[in-house]
């Protein structure tokens, strides 16, 4: 991501404060000041402005993200072409499998959850629409990387690295390259507890006419409840079918 020639420091600090509030699920002035390089009075001034604009809510001594961001987020999501196309298929996939279905897009080398659909047995996770994740440690992210040029993959990995999220996370570039080659052959990716212990998923890329990934869709399920036969034999075909319908509608409708 290109750095601005003349960054506005105050704006940058504001967004740092907002990210701390989100990360901590609510925070006080002292907690924020410990994480942001300005004093308590400066943090308080930022928070007062954000509260007056209704982008932050004050609850006792804590500040929380306000609903004013919901309108901006919904507007941004609705401007993403794949959202309208994929939403119906994601809902249908969740109903068919009974599991959690996620739709992910890539922005500036990170994955952003664009939409979630929950079946009757869907597991509750830390993911939510708008959450950003690294690409190397999720089935969705690997599905996207598998259908991007090698130079672009190298740039993303150089910028964001391959940190370990669980003992199963792939942290070696050569190992990841082999994995991406396998994903290109199968046209789906597997997350084997690589971001969260006890969770695995099957993900398929959604590609354009040039076979470049524009998004990915997945089914996530807990290891203890979904056996290997269903996970490795049934789910890939189901997820691939949904991705294929989305691609057709996205590229040719």
**Per-residue pLDDT tens digits for 222-245:** 999 999 999 999 999 999 999 999
Whether 35 is covered by a domain: the verdict is yes
- Give yes or no: residues 149 and 41 share one domain: no
- Give yes or no: residues 190 and 138 share one domain: yes
- The CB-side HSE value for 93 (13 A sphere, CA atoms) comes to 32
pTM of the model: 0.81
- Give yes or no: residues 180 and 240 share one domain: yes
Is the confidence at residue 127, as pLDDT, over 90?
no
Confidence of residue 88 (pLDDT cuts 50, 70, 90): very high
Task: Give the residue-averaged pLDDT of 76-103.
Answer: 91
- Give yes or no: residues 99 and 212 share one domain: yes
Whether 2 is covered by a domain: the verdict is no
Whether 139 is covered by a domain: the verdict is yes
Q: Give the model's pLDDT for residue 72.
A: 77
Choose the final residue of a domain: 71, 102, 122: 71
Q: Are 204 and 187 in contact (CB under 8 A)?
A: yes
CATH number at residue 205: 3.30.450.40
- Give yes or no: residues 165 and 107 share one domain: yes
Q: Give the model's pLDDT for residue 134.
A: 96
Whether 4 is covered by a domain: the verdict is no
CB neighbours of residue 35 within 10 Å: 14
- Give yes or no: residues 97 and 216 share one domain: yes
Whether 188 is covered by a domain: the verdict is yes
- Give yes or no: residues 27 and 92 share one domain: no
Q: Give the model's pLDDT for residue 1.
A: 53
Domain, as residue range, for 27 = 9-71
Is the confidence at residue 52, as pLDDT, over 80?
yes
Q: Give the model's pLDDT for residue 145.
A: 98
Whether 172 is covered by a domain: the verdict is yes
Q: Give the model's pLDDT for residue 109.
A: 96
- Give yes or no: residues 14 and 137 share one domain: no
- Give yes or no: residues 16 and 51 share one domain: yes
CATH number at residue 65: 1.10.10.10
Choose the final residue of a domain: 22, 40, 71: 71
Nearest partner of 164 among 153, 172, 154, judged by Cα: 172
Whether 211 is covered by a domain: the verdict is yes
**Per-residue pLDDT tens digits for 168-189:** 999 999 999 999 999 999 999 9
- Give yes or no: residues 28 and 124 share one domain: no
Please provide the DSSP assignment of 49-86 as one string: HHHHTTSEEEETTEEEE-THHHHHHHHHHHTSHHHHHH
Task: Give the residue-averaged pLDDT of 157-170.
Answer: 97
Is the confidence at residue 8, as pLDDT, over 90?
no
Choose the final residue of a domain: 39, 71, 103: 71
CB neighbours of residue 234 within 10 Å: 14
Is the confidence at residue 204, as pLDDT, over 60?
yes
Confidence of residue 159 (pLDDT cuts 50, 70, 90): very high
Please provide the DSSP assignment of the chain as one string: -PPPSS--HHHHHHHHHHHHHHHHTSB-HHHHHHHSSS-HHHHHHHHHHHHHTTSEEEETTEEEE-THHHHHHHHHHHTSHHHHHHHHHHHHHHHHH-SEEEEEEEETTEEEEEEEEE-TTPPP-S--TT-EE-STTSHHHHHHHTTS-HHHHHHHHHHH----SSTT----HHHHHHHHHHHHHHT-EEEESSSSTTEEEEEEEEE-TTS-EEEEEEEEEETTTS-HHIIIIIHHHHHHHHHHHHHHHHHH-
Distance CA 242, CA 112 (A): 20
Query: Could you tell me which residue, 6 or 145, shows the higher pLDDT?
Result: 145
Nearest partner of 159 among 206, 107, 204, 114, judged by Cα: 107
- Give yes or no: residues 190 and 100 share one domain: yes
Task: Give the residue-averaged pLDDT of 70-94.
Answer: 85
- The CB-side HSE value for 68 (13 A sphere, CA atoms) comes to 12
- Give yes or no: residues 63 and 84 share one domain: no
How many domains are there within the chain?
Answer: 2
Whether 3 is covered by a domain: the verdict is no
């Amino acid at each position: 991501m290109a750095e601005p020639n003349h960054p506005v420091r105050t704006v940058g600090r504001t967004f740092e404060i907002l990210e701390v509030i989100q990360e901590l699920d609510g925070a006080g002035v002292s907690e924020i000041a410990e994480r942001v390089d300005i004093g308590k009075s400066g943090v308080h001034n930022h928070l007062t402005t954000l509260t007056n604009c209704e982008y932050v809510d004050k609850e006792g001594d804590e500040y929380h993200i306000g609903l004013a961001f919901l309108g901006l987020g919904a507007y941004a999501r609705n401007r993403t072409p794949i959202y309208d196309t994929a939403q119906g298929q994601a809902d249908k996939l969740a109903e068919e499998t009974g599991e959690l279905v996620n739709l992910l897009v890539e922005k500036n080398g990170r994955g952003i959850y664009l939409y979630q659909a929950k079946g009757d047995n869907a597991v509750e996770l830390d993911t939510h629409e708008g959450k950003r994740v690294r690409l190397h440690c999720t089935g969705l992210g690997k599905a996207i990387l598998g259908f991007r040029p090698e130079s672009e993959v190298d740039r993303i990995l150089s910028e964001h690295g391959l940190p370990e999220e669980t003992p199963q996370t792939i942290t070696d570039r050569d190992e990841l390259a082999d994995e991406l080659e396998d994903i290109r052959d199968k046209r789906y990716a597997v997350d084997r507890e690589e971001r969260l212990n006890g969770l695995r998923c099957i993900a398929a890329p959604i590609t354009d006419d040039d076979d470049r990934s524009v998004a990915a869709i997945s089914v996530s399920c807990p290891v203890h409840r979904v056996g290997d036969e269903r996970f490795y034999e049934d789910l890939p075909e189901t997820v691939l079918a949904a991705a294929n319908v989305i691609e057709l509608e996205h590229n040719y409708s």
